[in-house]
Structure 1
Amino acid sequence: MAAGRWLRVIEHATPDGGRVAMEVDITELKEAERRQADIIHGAQAGTWEWNLVTGVNLVNPRWAEMVGYTLSELGTNDIQVWRRLVHPDDLAAAEAKLAQVFSREIDRFEYELRMRHKQGHWVWVLSRGRVARWSPEGAPEIMAGVHIDITALKRVEERLEQIIDAASAGTWEYDLATGAQHVNDRWAEMLGYSRAELSDSPDFGFRALLHPSDSAMLNQQQRDAVLMGCDSFGNEIRMRHKQGHWVWILSRGRVIARDDRGAARKLAGIHLDITERKHLESQLVVERDYLSRLMDTSASGIAALDAQGRIIFANREAERILGRSAREMQGMTYDVANWKIEALDGGPFDTNDLPFARAITEQQIVRNVRFSIIRPDGMRRVLSVNAAPISTEGLEVRVVVSISDITEQAAAENELRVAARQAEAANRAKSHFLANMSHEIRTPLNGVLGMAQILEGELNEPAHKHMLGIIRDSGQTLLSILNDLLDMSKIEAGKLILEEVAFAPVDILTRVESMHKLAAVEKGLSFDLRLGKDAHLPRCGDPNRLSQILHNLVSNAVKFTEHGGVTVTLSASCEDSVDISVQDTGIGMTPEQQTRMFDDFEQADGTVTRRFGGTGLGMAIVRRLIGLMEGEITVESALGRGTTVHIALPLSRASHSSEKDPATVTRALTGMRVLIADDNATNLLILKTMLSSLGVTSVSVSDGRAAVEAWEPGRFDAILLDISMPELDGISALAQIRARADAQGVAMTPALAVSANAMTHQVAEYIAAGFTSHIAKPFKRADLEAGLSAIALQRA
């Protein structure tokens, strides 16, 4: 090297012993070699030079480094070293390429192969080479080339293939110059083919399988890519499946190579099967259309609001109800003053109580919020609004409300409330009337029946007893009518309470027989009582109401029978129920009459009322009482052939009967001391006489104040107080007596309320005031006996 330039000196010895030298400037050659070395080094390329004559294969350090070796580790520079490192599956393909070179088909080649790394894994290598020198005979003598490590590129390609495979994407590449098209297996599988089946078709059958309507669009896109410099494009096309149907394809592509003039030379892209998505889109369109029609035909107004309470949708019914178009309502908030919202009574309505505000705050469905609005046309409408919060991400809607116009309904409900208040007032008036009637009738009736019962033991003349019997029967008939009316009133008001005590059904039927057999015999009728084997066993229930039911049934049977007889049968063999039938040979009923027999104030026809009497309430009460007991009643009857009434009552067996031994009761009452207070002299006389017959000693006073003054600690065992007395009524008198007892530190004397006011709510008032029990006027000696016996036995 001299003066910065490379020189090659060639010397030769001359025959005369001298030397001849020639200098050649090789600076340009050396610079070219340097640039080539820099390029090779920069490209991280391994170089090789194979002398086919000697078999020597010279490689640079980078060539050895790619496979993890140094040049010294590789040893002999022999072509066999390369053959040992190449993957067996790739060696055959490489040898095939070399064979083409040896046969002078090609003078350069390129292929990809795998070479074993020192650490055992495979390295992907791109090998490029050419013949560097030919022999005079035309055989290659020296071949040279480069190795480039493309392992990373291969991994990227593999990863890309995995992504494409996972995405079920078909890939394609199209050469605009040659018309050649390349596709992968998935591209063909989308259409039901294998890649081999389409390989012989021009462009893999793409144009032939493309839907005619989509071909023109695709051609236009390709022209745009070629002529207008468009780099990427995409479209949805249809292609014919092997089985004949159309497959929807999302085709996306881009220009991957252009010529020197900028025109597209190669295109590449992917195909995705979107048939299912297109099907879903079609379904969504149908469902959207359906929902749209549903919204428009809905009987309720529907509106959707955003997070700020602005209306973003309203259906046609909402337009009709609110009196505004959807365009007008767009963007209006739920609480804007234009709605003119009021409470139902016309007062202000707190906006915090509006459905939207509550749904946002409470985050739950809000139902039936009622308020009124004034529409733009001036009409006041009452609305019922439901609201539901929506929490789905990505939706602008935050609350959906349904609106119903209930203006007419609200008016009707208001009218019903007015009617209900009027009905309640009428019912209270009826109850007040019944209470007054009960008191006014029971008070004199107590005198009639009480005196009749007292006189019965005093008279000996048959004629006199007969007349007294007529008086007693007339009074009992009047009392029965009054009791029927009161019982019906209690049942209708839901205030009739059934007892739950132990009793023997046979005792009830025996008393019913004693009361009605005489009337049957007087009419020349037979009266039979048939008892099952377990009729004597005690049951749990209400004996008084069962007695009332049987009295009504047996009384009707005797009343409506003129020839033959009446049979009452009791079957109590079942563990939890009792069956009773009342059969007669009386006038019977038609089917039409049977349908009316349980109606209030109904009898078979008008002639029955005139012929036999009665209010027509008896069977109505029977049906209601059996219903309250959860029992059943059935009727079999034919006109002129008699009637059979069968009842089944769920009366469970009891361990013992609550019936008291009469001898025990009599002993308990003997010597009992009683204070009586009543402002009616007749009632006082009846009470004193009946109590005396029971062995009870009594002190009588005429008003409540006298009763308070007469009471002393330990003087009386019981107190009988009339409720309705002047100056100081029974309830007030009892309160003052209790106050005296408390002041003196002694126990209060048990008290019984004796009153003609016998309505259910009135009796409840007496018990709440402190009375032990109640005796209704008109009363019998048995009523007094029962009331005082309970006190006496409790005291004992």
Structure 2
Amino acid sequence: MSAVRISSDLMGVLAARRSQARFRIGVAVAMLAGFGSTVGWAFAFGWVAVYMGLQLAEHLLLHRRDLSTFSSLVLLSTNAIVFGAYGAMGPVMDGSWGLACGVVLMCGGLLNTALTSQKSLQAFVASAWPFAFYLGAMPFAALAVGAEGHHAVALAISAALIVGCTVMIWRSAARALIAEGEARARAEAADAAKSAFVAMVSHELRTPISAILAGAVEAGRAEAAGARASNLELIESSARMMRTLLDDLLDLSKIEAGKMGVEVTPFDLRRLMLETVRFWAPEARRRNLRFRVEGARRVPTWVEGDPTRVRQVLNNLFSNALKFTDSGSVTLKFAASPDGQATLSVIDTGPGMDAAQVGRLFTPYGQASDSVARTHGGTGLGLNISRELARLMGGDLSVESAPGQGAAFHLKVSLPAAAAVSAVDATQDRQGLRLLIVDDHEVNRRAFTLILQAACDELAVAHDGVEALERLATQRFDLVLMDLNMPRMGGMEAVRRLRAEPGPNQATPVIALTASVAPKEMAVCKAAGMSGFVMKPVEAKELFAAIEQVLSEARATVAQTA
């Protein structure tokens, strides 16, 4: 049997013995000096010579790396037999004192065996049995040197306890080493997965950034309106790709930190499903796929839940279905139970997945196969985030699939019926606004100015909270857009001071520009005096909807107090 067939655990023990050779030689010299008079100097020097020769032979054999499992175990047993023989001579040469010294040496040998045999049961048994044998013989040696019978029995029981405790020590050490190895393997796998994920994210970011840069350059050069519109459309779609990626990263970080939340509000489920289907229908037509809806008549109009998160999960499912389906159809199927549980299923006729692929499907930083990212792009976060969102909404996300039979993703979520609510009329036609934009970044100030300049009679900017308060103390505004994180003074502190001090804008609505709209952050902003929230990166439609809402609420408050 060649060395390569030796188990990795046994190889680890042999490697550890090579590194401990100097220690064993030092122990032998110490035993010669300390116990030579006990066992007799002639025997002591002879034993040292034999033991040193054995260490040299072991060094040469381990250096050649051609030991079989059997020869390795014989080597370990021989070492233990020779080492233990030194203590076994104690009672023979020096009576009861030599017996005591021998028992101590056997216990030390057993303990060293338990600590150095690592995870290899073979190595432990081969190294421990000689010491256990010697200890078992000590009660008989005690009787031979004149001990009473009950002393011999006590010694036998003590020897058995020592052997049993040694076995327990070895088992505990082996389990600890196995657990440490498994933890290290998991950590290394996680690090490798995250490294691959970072590389994937970098690639996903470079693609839309390159498109934005190219589109901007070409838009400046293009003379025809059609060519300019095409380049601007490229810039817009690339920016949306970057926003989707950023949203996924933020959602993942909040999920891992346990800070992800969902809201419960009345919304029109039928309209949400219709808008989602209309959004993905052009992509289905482009790929020559049938796009179907089943169970639409059973969809309730108004339900309670989180429309943003339901839409997010459906978009992820449609995106995957259309991405992996080359022919056939993609179907959205609705089913509901009387207790308010709804099931929205996205079913495709794609290639399907085997059990191993399904098992990796909902893991973060993973995809169904390693080639998915190269072929189709994406970070592999969407399904993991979608399942977590489904569970936060009191449901779950599951999948049924088999190779060649497509896939069916089932979003089960609690959506009890609700009373109809009139929608907020978000419009960009409001005129005559006096608005202050507070942001420390020049790019953000320019972006908000481009979006809002047509709807405002007066548009002012401030670089931070200090400058904003100076303007707000002397000039009347209808609305303030306030970034939260700025140098000198952030938006939160600026709004607290604005509300606390009398002035022309003490009651002026303030919309927070924030990277997070989690319930906890929103509550803090509300407590500081904010009137509304817009999440960065901002889209014009969302910004105008927030402006219309806070101004309508402000008008209603004034009407009530009049």
- Tell me the TM-score normalized by structure 1: 0.40
295, 308, 326: which one pairs with 1:562?
A: 326
Aligned residue for 1:596? Answer: 360
Task: Report the Cα offset of residue 719 of structure 1.
Answer: 0.8
| Counterpart secondary structure, 2:293 | strand
444, 453, 457: which one pairs with 1:683?
A: 444
Aligned residue for 2:263? Answer: 499
Letter in 1 for 2:262: L
Aligned residue for 1:486? Answer: 250
Structure 1 759/653 Cα, relative in aligned 2: closer, same or farther at 3 Å? closer
Superposed CA offset, 1:300-330 (max 9, x none): xxxxxxxxxxxxxxxxxxxxxxxxxxxxxxx
Whole-Å separation in 2 of the counterparts to 1:506 and 1:602: 33
Whole-Å separation in 1 of the counterparts to 2:439 and 2:340: 46
Higher normalized strand content (fraction of residues): 1
Whole-Å separation in 1 of the counterparts to 2:455 and 2:300: 29
Asked if structure 2 preserves the Cα contact closer than 8 Å seen for 1:674 and 1:716, the reply is yes
Superposed CA offset, 1:708-741 (max 9, x none): 1211588222211122333333223223322333
Higher normalized helix content (fraction of residues): 2
Whole-Å separation in 1 of the counterparts to 2:223 and 2:499: 43
480, 483, 487: which one pairs with 1:722?
A: 483
Whole-Å separation in 2 of the counterparts to 1:757 and 1:578: 28
Residues 1:617 and 2:381 aligned together: yes
Superposed CA offset, 1:251-275 (max 9, x none): xxxxxxxxxxxxxxxxxxxxxxxxx
Asked if structure 1 preserves the Cα contact closer than 8 Å seen for 2:476 and 2:505, the reply is no
Asked if structure 1 preserves the Cα contact closer than 8 Å seen for 2:322 and 2:330, the reply is yes
Superposed CA offset, 1:103-149 (max 9, x none): xxxxxxxxxxxxxxxxxxxxxxxxxxxxxxxxxxxxxxxxxxxxxxx
Residues 1:788 and 2:552 aligned together: no
> What is the 5 A alignment of 1:366-405?
none
Whole-Å separation in 1 of the counterparts to 2:303 and 2:500: 42
CA RMSD in angstroms comes to: 3.9
Specify every segment of 5 or more residues in structure 2 that has no aligned partner in the other structure, as ranges: 1-171, 188-193, 556-562
Whole-Å separation in 2 of the counterparts to 1:463 and 1:714: 43
Task: Report the Cα offset of residue 655 of structure 1.
Answer: 0.9
Structure 1 759/572 Cα, relative in aligned 2: closer, same or farther at 3 Å? closer
Superposed CA offset, 1:33-75 (max 9, x none): xxxxxxxxxxxxxxxxxxxxxxxxxxxxxxxxxxxxxxxxxxx
Whole-Å separation in 2 of the counterparts to 1:782 and 1:668: 12
Whole-Å separation in 1 of the counterparts to 2:223 and 2:312: 30
Asked if structure 2 preserves the Cα contact closer than 8 Å seen for 1:534 and 1:573, the reply is no
Letter in 1 for 2:532: S
Residues 1:740 and 2:512 aligned together: no
Whole-Å separation in 2 of the counterparts to 1:691 and 1:641: 50
Task: Report the Cα offset of residue 551 of structure 1.
Answer: 0.7
Identical counterparts, % of pairs: 34
524, 532, 537: which one pairs with 1:773?
A: 532
> What is the 5 A alignment of 1:203-602?
461-572=225-336, 574=338, 576-602=340-366
> What is the 5 A alignment of 1:170-189?
none
Whole-Å separation in 2 of the counterparts to 1:690 and 1:480: 21
Asked if structure 1 preserves the Cα contact closer than 8 Å seen for 2:434 and 2:456, the reply is no
Whole-Å separation in 2 of the counterparts to 1:611 and 1:794: 49
Letter in 2 for 1:791: V
> What is the 5 A alignment of 1:51-130?
none
Whole-Å separation in 2 of the counterparts to 1:637 and 1:726: 52
Whole-Å separation in 2 of the counterparts to 1:757 and 1:626: 20
| Counterpart secondary structure, 1:498 | coil
749, 754, 770: which one pairs with 2:513?
A: 754
Task: Report the Cα offset of residue 768 of structure 1.
Answer: 4.0
Structure 1 746/756 Cα, relative in aligned 2: closer, same or farther at 3 Å? closer
Task: Report the Cα offset of residue 647 of structure 1.
Answer: 2.1
Structure 1 626/500 Cα, relative in aligned 2: closer, same or farther at 3 Å? same
Specify every segment of 5 or more residues in structure 1 that has no aligned partner in the other structure, as ranges: 1-407, 424-429
Whole-Å separation in 1 of the counterparts to 2:523 and 2:470: 27
Whole-Å separation in 2 of the counterparts to 1:713 and 1:519: 53
Task: Report the Cα offset of residue 786 of structure 1.
Answer: 2.5
Whole-Å separation in 2 of the counterparts to 1:560 and 1:538: 33
The number of residue pairs the alignment matches comes to 355
Task: Report the Cα offset of residue 694 of structure 1.
Answer: 4.9
Letter in 2 for 1:622: S
* Structure with bigger gyration radius: 1
- Tell me the TM-score normalized by structure 2: 0.56
Structure 1 763/726 Cα, relative in aligned 2: closer, same or farther at 3 Å? same
Task: Report the Cα offset of residue 583 of structure 1.
Answer: 1.3
Asked if structure 2 preserves the Cα contact closer than 8 Å seen for 1:501 and 1:658, the reply is no
Task: Report the Cα offset of residue 792 of structure 1.
Answer: 1.6
Structure 1 540/760 Cα, relative in aligned 2: closer, same or farther at 3 Å? closer
Letter in 1 for 2:485: S
Letter in 1 for 2:433: M
> What is the 5 A alignment of 1:597-746?
597-657=361-421, 659-660=423-424, 664-666=425-427, 669-694=430-455, 697-712=458-473, 715-741=476-502, 744=503
| Counterpart secondary structure, 2:246 | helix
| Counterpart secondary structure, 2:403 | coil
Superposed CA offset, 1:680-724 (max 9, x none): 222222212212355675322333322112115882222111223
Structure 1 474/760 Cα, relative in aligned 2: closer, same or farther at 3 Å? farther
Whole-Å separation in 2 of the counterparts to 1:462 and 1:727: 46
